[in-house]
Chain A
Amino acid sequence: MTSDPKLESCALKPADIARRVAAELPDGAVVNLGIGIPTLVGNYVEAGRGVMFMAENGIIGAGPRPEPGEEDKDYINASREPITTLPGASVFGHADAFAMIRGGHIDIAIMGALQVSARGDLANWTVPGLGKGGIGGAMDLAAGAREVYAIMAHTMKDGGLKLLEECSYPLTAKRVVTKLFTDIAFIEITPDGPVLREAAEGLTTEDVQAVSEPRLLTNGPPGVLSREETP
C-alpha cells in the first residue's frame, strides 16, 4: 500500500480481502485459484456452498492441505503445494484441464494482478524487462474463464497507480476482469466503466478516486469493506 497514512491505516490485510472475495462467489461455482492471495480464498468458502476448486494441473475437487507427514507426491495444486481430494473429486491431464479452461467450463478464475485497466484489461504475468516472469496458465484462464476476479494492492509501494486507463505492463488478456478486489476497494468493471461498490472502512469515494486513474462511477455511497483479521 501507498505511503499515504490514511489509506495505509484503513487498508485490508490479505485475509480480509480473501474473505470478501469468498463471499462474492456464487454457490456451486467451479473456481480456479491463482497463486498468492487467491490461494487464501478457499479458506473462507464453507463446504455447504458447493463451490468446487479446479487446478490447471488436472484436478477438480481439491481439498485442504494434508496433515504434516500425510503429503502424497502425486497430489499437488498448481502452486506446487500438497493437497487432499474431496469426495467427488476427479483428476486428468493438461489437455483436458485446459480444454475445460479454454472451453468456458470454469465459472470464475481468481487471479493476482499487477495492473487492471478501466475496461478490464489484465496485466499479471510479467513486468517490462528481460528475463522476468512467466505466462503459465494465466492467459488461458483469463481468456477462457466465464469471469475473472482480480486481486491486487490498490497502488504500488511507491504510490504508483495500478488501476489505470490503459495498462503499461505486458497484457495477459483484454477486457476480461469483471470484479476487482484491492486492499481498499471492491470495484466492478462494467461496460460503462469501473463502478466503486465498496470501500475500506474509514475511506470515502474521493479517497479511492485519488489513487485510481480512471474516473470511478458510483451508485450512492460505497458499501463498507470491513477488517476483521490480521494475517
Chain B
Amino acid sequence: MVSDKVYPSSKAAIADIPDGATILLGGFGGAGIPENLLVAMADHPARDLTVVTNHAGFGERGLAVLLRQGKVKKIICSYAFHRSAFVFRELFLEGKIELEQLPQGTMAERIRAAGAGISAFYTPTGVGTQAAEGKETRTINGRDALLEHPLPGDVAIIKAHRADTTGNLTYRGTAANFNPVMATAAPLTIVEVEEIVAPGVIAPESVHTPSIYVQRVVRGEDLDLRSET
C-alpha cells in the first residue's frame, strides 16, 4: 500500500522548508539523530533558520555543517558550549549566531506545551539563576516558580526506529529523547526511520507516536551515518 506520507528521499522530504523556519531537531548524545535529513538540509538553500535542539552541534558533521554554512541565525538549546561544539562556539564569539540556552526539562516541557495547547506554565526550575532573567516569578504553594511559554516549531525534523505507512512511529532504547515530544509541536513533522512497514504491523498498543502527528516519513538512505562519534 502506498501512502502519501512516505517520501522517496530525504531530499524530497525537506525540499520545501523555507527561509526563516524554526526547526525542532531531535537527538541526544549521538542517539536518535535524523542523520540523513541533516545531510539533505546541507544541500538545501533555506537560511535564517532557528534550530531548537539539545546541544549546539558536535564536531564537524550533522548540524555543524549547517552552522558552518551560515544557514542558522539562532540556536535554542540546553547545552551550548560542550567542548565538541567548537563550530558553534566560534560563530557565537564572532557575534554571527544568537543563542537562547535553557534548562533541558524546561525546553522539553515548553515543546510539550506547544503540542498540547498549553498557553504557559510555571516551574521552579531555574529560579534564582540566569535562566530566570526576564521571566515573571510567582510564589505558588510557598515555592517560587518561573513563567515559561510554549516553544513550537514550523517544522520538526526527527528520527524514529520504525514507521508504518500511515505515520505511526516506534522508537528504540534511549534514542527517543526529544523526538516524540517534538513530533507533537510543529505543523509539519518529517521523520527519518530505519524501516517502513505496512499498517497493522505495529500493534496499536505498541505505537509510541500516533500517526496524526506525522506528515512525512522517509527511510534513511545511509543507516550507518553517525555525525556525533
Contact partner, A170, options B129, B175, B228, Cβ 8 Å: B129
User: Is A58 close to B, CB under 8 A?
Assistant: yes
Beta-carbon nearest neighbor of B173 in chain A: A74
Within 8 A of A (CB), among B3-56: 28-32, 55
Q: B166 near A: Cβ within 8 Å?
A: no
Interchain Cβ contacts under 8 Å between A and B, 16 examples: A57-B28, A57-B177, A59-B174, A74-B161, A74-B172, A74-B173, A80-B30, A80-B228, A94-B177, A98-B104, A98-B108, A102-B125, A126-B81, A131-B92, A134-B101, A143-B125
Minimum-distance CB pairs A-B, first 8: A134-B79, A98-B105, A140-B105, A74-B173, A139-B103, A93-B176, A95-B181, A74-B175
Most buried by B among A97, A135, A173: A135
Q: A80-B228, A137-B104 are in contact. List 14 more A-B contacts (CB 8 A).
A: A56-B105, A58-B176, A75-B174, A76-B173, A78-B29, A95-B109, A95-B111, A131-B81, A131-B93, A132-B81, A139-B131, A140-B106, A143-B123, A143-B126
A133 to B78, CA, bound (A): 10
B residues near A93, Cβ cutoff 8 Å: 171, 176-181, 208
| Docked-complex contact A174 and B128, CB < 8 angstroms | yes
Q: At the interface, is chain A mostly helix, strand, loop or mixed? A: loop
A102 near B175 with CB under 8 A, answer no
Whether, in the assembled complex, A47 has its beta carbon less than 8 Å from a beta carbon of chain B, the answer is no
**Which B residues lie within 8 Å of A92 (CB)?**
176
A133 contacts B81, CB within 8 Å? yes
Q: Mark B74-109, 1 if CB is under 8 A from A, else 0.
A: 000111111000000100110000000111111011
- The CA-CA distance from A120 to B55 in the complex, in Å, is 28
A91 touches B173 (CB 8 A): yes
Interface size on A, residues (CB 8 A): 45
Residues of B within 8 A of A (CB): 28-32, 55, 77-82, 89, 92-93, 101-106, 108-109, 111-112, 123-131, 161, 171-181, 208, 226, 228
Task: Determine whether the beta carbon of B29 is less than 8 Å from that of A134.
Answer: no
Q: Is the CB–CB distance between A140 and B174 below 8 Å?
A: no
A157 partner residues in chain B, CB cutoff 8 A: none
Would you call A134 and B81 a contact (CB within 8 A)? yes
Q: Is A55 an interface residue (CB 8 A)?
A: yes
- Contact pick for A73, options B31, B77, B108, CB 8 Å: B31
Interface contact B82-A134, CB-CB below 8 Å: yes
Nearest Cβ in chain B — how far from A176, in angstroms? 10
A101 to B32, CA, bound (A): 21
B102, B105, B176, B228 pick with most chain A CB within 10 angstroms = B105
User: Is A171 among interface residues, defined by CB-CB distance under 8 A?
Assistant: yes
Q: A75-B173, A144-B105 are in contact. Are A95 and B112 (CB under 8 A)?
A: yes
Q: How far is the CA of A80 from the CA of B79 in the complex (A)?
A: 14
Asked whether A139 lies within 8 Å of B129 as measured between CB atoms, the reply is yes
Name A122's closest neighbour in chain B (CB-CB): B129
For A98, the chain B residues whose CB sits under 8 A away are 104-105, 108-109
A220 at the interface (CB under 8 A from B): no
When distances are taken between beta carbons in the complex, the residues of chain A under 8 Å from B175 are: 73-74
Supposing A57-B28, A174-B128 touch, asked if A135 and B81 sit within 8 A by C-beta, the answer is no
Question: Bound state CA distance, A171 and B93, in angstroms?
Answer: 23
Query: Shortest distance in angstroms between B195's beta carbon and chain A's nearest beta carbon?
Result: 13
Interchain CA distance A58-B27 in the complex, whole Å: 12
Contact B131–A135 (Cβ < 8 Å): yes
Closest to B106 in A: A140
